[in-house]
Amino acid sequence: MRKNNTIEKLTNWEHWPTAMFYVPNLPYAFYLAFKAKHLAFFSAANPCIKSSGNGTESKYETIMLVPKEYRPKSILVKPNADFYNVLIDIQKQKITFPLIAKPDVGFRGLLVKKINSEAALRSYLEKYPINIIIQEFLDYENECGIFYHRNPESETGKITSITLKRFLSVIGNGKHTLKELILKDNRARLYLELFSEIHKKKLNTIPKKNETVKLTAIGNHSKGTQFINGNHLISDTLIKSFDKLNKAIPGWFYGRIDLKYNSFSSLENGLDFKILEINGILAEPTHIYDSENYTYFKALKSIRNHWRNVYEIATINNKKFKTPYKSPKLFTSEMIELKRHVKKIKKIC
């Protein structure tokens, strides 16, 4: 089964390694750096976020930039914090179980977990002695990623990507175990190892007939969530709503917002949604991973187009508004430190 899964992931570009999407585009990246006359020109795109969001920024500090009505209740837990005090802080923020825990520095869903009890939270915090964000679990029906950018000299911006997220689930028939249902699903079986860990106590139980079993609550591609191209939903109304949001976050001009909502009509009008996080210059237009409606070469072109946008924003910020570029040496050292940080986390997973 593992061999079959490996073959399927190799033949479907949606599951290819990250390098396959960025190495082919490196010549264009160097061309933009040559035009900007600076290797780290992109570091001036979002002045309000450390290094414009290169992955080393604090997710907690970034989410705190978002107006209160649009962000989830959140606390930051330092390594080896007293658990009793953590519970007090959770109660003060009126966060209840289940809740979400995730690293303050991290990406691609690394260690993002839904925590159902105090005991599970204690175990999680003891296992991972790093800065952890605890957030309320948002029980909204839908989740999506919206990529927005605005030229600093313009009053209006653009939305260049909407990614709808379909959480994996299986439907019981009253005969097969959960594991058997997962193996029968063409997509779910690719993530059997992950779901075996998440649902280890339920794998051999038999779901009732027509019972829907949601396999993951985390909207990350690496967790099995299917990304669907939703660019047909881009509208002037939605852009106006995001223009208003963008201007409420001074110094943010480029990135993808991951959010939860119930009705897209309400979201379009700037109502009834919560932002999970803002991703800066490392953000991807994740609609490109809809391999059923997109091609690999179109995905590469979309990445280049977004790099051109970040070039325009960063160079305007630098030339017109005197936002400094970060030194390539310092930027590189931050990325090396990020790599070490991720490696450290993966070792204790």
For the chain, give the mean pLDDT: 93
Question: For residue 293, which of 57, 78, 14 has the smallest C-alpha distance?
Answer: 14
Average pLDDT, integer, range 117-138: 96
Are the C-beta atoms of residues 218 and 224 closer than 8 Å to each other? no
One domain, residues 281 and 256: yes
216-232 core/surface letters (b: 16 or more CB in 10 A; e: else): bbbbbbebbbbbbbbbe
What backbone phi and psi angles, to 5 degrees, belong to 136? -65, 145
One domain, residues 206 and 239: no
Is 120 inside any structural domain? yes
- What six digits make up the tokens of 95? 């966060």
Where a domain ends, among 117, 137, 157?
137
Number of domains composing the chain? 3
- Is 1's pLDDT higher than 70? no
Q: How many CB atoms lie within 10 A of CB 268?
A: 20
CA dihedral sign of residues 106, 111, 112, 116: negative
One domain, residues 271 and 193: no
Is 223 inside any structural domain? no
Is 3 inside any structural domain? no
Confidence class for position 151, pLDDT limits 50, 70, 90? very high
One domain, residues 193 and 268: no
Cα gap 310→45, rounded to integer Å: 6
- Is 56's pLDDT higher than 90? yes
One domain, residues 25 and 160: yes
Is 2 inside any structural domain? no
CA dihedral sign of residues 231, 271, 279, 36: positive
Is 222 inside any structural domain? no
Q: Up-side HSE of residue 347: CA atoms within 13 Å toward CB?
A: 7
CA dihedral sign of residues 227, 231, 233, 237: positive
Q: What is the pLDDT of residue 2?
A: 56
- Is 218's pLDDT higher than 80? no
Compute and round to an integer the Cα radius of gyration of the chain: 21
pLDDT digits (tens, 9 = 90+) for 83-125: 999 999 999 999 999 999 999 998 777 889 999 999 999 999 9
One domain, residues 235 and 251: yes
Average pLDDT, integer, range 230-243: 98
Block residue for tokens 């223009």:
243
- Is 342's pLDDT higher than 60? yes
Is 122 inside any structural domain? yes
Average pLDDT, integer, range 213-226: 83
Cα gap 219→163, rounded to integer Å: 11
One domain, residues 32 and 100: no
Q: Can you name the residues that pair with 135 across neighbouring β-strands?
A: 74, 100
pLDDT digits (tens, 9 = 90+) for 9-55: 778 899 899 999 999 999 999 999 999 999 999 999 999 999 999 99
Where a domain ends, among 182, 215, 248?
215
Quote the Cα angle for 128-131-135, to 5°.
95
Q: What is the pLDDT of residue 3?
A: 55
One domain, residues 265 and 160: yes
Average pLDDT, integer, range 233-253: 97
- The residue length of the chain stands at 349
Q: What is the pLDDT of residue 4?
A: 60
One domain, residues 266 and 307: yes
Q: Which domain holds residue 173?
A: 169-215
- What six digits make up the tokens of 68? 């209160």
Where a domain ends, among 137, 154, 189?
137
One domain, residues 25 and 62: yes
Confidence class for position 224, pLDDT limits 50, 70, 90? confident
